[in-house]
Amino acid sequence: MKPSADKLEIIACAVLILVSSVGNACLFYSTSKCITGGLQTSFLLMISLVFVHLLKNLVGNTLKLVYSSGILLDSVGCKALHFTAALTTSLAIWFMLHLALLYHRKLYQIVHPLSRAANLNQEKYSLKGISALWVAGVAVYIPVLVYTTKPEHPSSANGTGSLSTNRLYMDCLTAFGNEQVEFYYGKIFLVLIDILPLAVLVFVCLWMAALLLEKKKMTYGDIWIGDDDSETEVLRGAKFSILLMLLITPLWASHFILVYFSKDLAACAFIPAVLTALSSGFSALSPFPLMLVNYKMKLVSFCGVQREKSTPQPADIILSPYA
C-alpha cells in the first residue's frame, strides 16, 4: 500500500524540522562560543541565517505539518504560512549574498593587495547592512500578511477536497483582491527580489572561484609561501560560499519551476513532500557546511588567534630574533 501525500509531507516536515533544529542549534553554539570581542560581520551573518532557518522550519514547516495532519488552517494561518515561507526564502538568499560578498572582498584583497589602507568603517557599514536586510525583508512582505485573503474553493466548502494530494497548495492559497496588484507585485516583484540577488550570488561565487584559482598559482619571487591563519579562514569561507551557492540555487530554481510551471501539482502523490524538501532543504543542510567554516579551521573562527593574543607572555622570557 502506497503512503498518501499527507503522510509523505508529514514525514518530510518532521525530518526537516529535526535536522534543521539540530544543525542550527549546533551552528549557533559554535558561533556564539567564538564571540569574545566585537561582533564581526561573519558572526552576525551566521546568527541571522540561524534565525531565518529556524523561523522557516519551526513556524512554516510546523504549520504545514499541522495542515497535513488534517487540521485545516483559517485565513490567518494560511497567510502566516505563506508570509513565513516567502520571507525566510528571500532573507536566506540575501544573507548568503552578503556572506559571499564579504569573503569575495577579503579574497580579492589577498590576491590583489590594496596599495592603500582598508576602510576601517567597512565593518560598521556591513553590520548596518545586515540590520537593513531584516527591515527590508519584513517591509517587502508585509502586504502578503496584511492585504491578502484566502479565497473559498468549492472543494474545501463541501469537504470533497479533504483527500486531495495538493490540499495545502490549493485550499490554503492566498491572493490579493486586485488583479493588477496580484500580477505586478505578487507575480513579478516578489519573484525578482529573489532572482536578481540569486543571479548576483552566482556571479560573485564564479568570480571567487576564479580568484581561488589565481591564488593557487601565486608565487612570491618564484617561492611559494604558505597561507597564514587569516588567509586560511578566508580561503575556506570562500570555498564553502561557493558550495552553498551550488546548494541554494538548484533548490530554489527547482521549487520555482514546479510551483509556477507545473499544471497539476496533484499528479503525483509525492509532489507536496518534494516541494517541502526543495523549499526547506537549504535551511536544513546549510548549517553543517557553515559549521565547517566556523569550526574546522586552524583559526576555529578566530577563536584560536584571539586566545593566543590574549595569553600574556612571561616577562622573563627573551625571544630569539630568529624565532
* Model pLDDT for residues 88-117, shown as the tens digit of each residue: 999 999 999 999 999 999 899 888 887 555
Give the mean model confidence (pLDDT) for residues 21-28.
92
Instruction: Note the pLDDT of residue 97.
Output: 95
Q: At 175, phi and psi to the nearest 5?
A: -150, 160
Q: Are 54 and 20 in contact (CB under 8 A)?
A: yes
For residue 318, give every residue at least 6 positions away whose Cβ sits within 8 Å of its Cβ, in sequence order, or none: none
The residues near 315 (Cβ < 8 Å, ≥ 6 apart) are none
pLDDT at position 31 is 81
Strands 148-149 and 175-176: antiparallel
User: Over the stretch 80-92, which tens digit does the pLDDT of each residue have?
Assistant: 999 999 999 999 9
Report all structural domains of the chain as residue ranges with CATH numbers, in order of start. 5-114+130-150+164-304 (1.20.1070.10)
221: left (phi > 0), else alpha (psi -120 to 50), else beta?
left
Cell 525578482: give the residue.
Answer: 192
Average per-residue pLDDT for the chain = 78
In which band, very low, low, confident or very high, does the pLDDT at 263 lie, cut at 50, 70 and 90? Answer: low
Phi, psi of 220 (to 5 degrees): -120, 95
Q: Residue 158: what pLDDT?
A: 44
153, 211, 151: which is closest to 175 by C-alpha?
A: 151
- Model pLDDT, residue 119: 58
Query: Cell 490567518 belongs to which residue?
Result: 76
Question: pTM for this structure?
Answer: 0.82
Q: Residues near 63 by Cβ (< 8 Å), separated by ≥ 6?
A: 73, 77, 80, 81, 84
CA of 314: how far to CAs of 57, 305, 306, 321, 322, in Å? Answer: 51, 18, 18, 17, 19
Q: What is the pLDDT of residue 128?
A: 84
Which pLDDT value is given to residue 227? Answer: 55
pLDDT at 276 over 70: yes
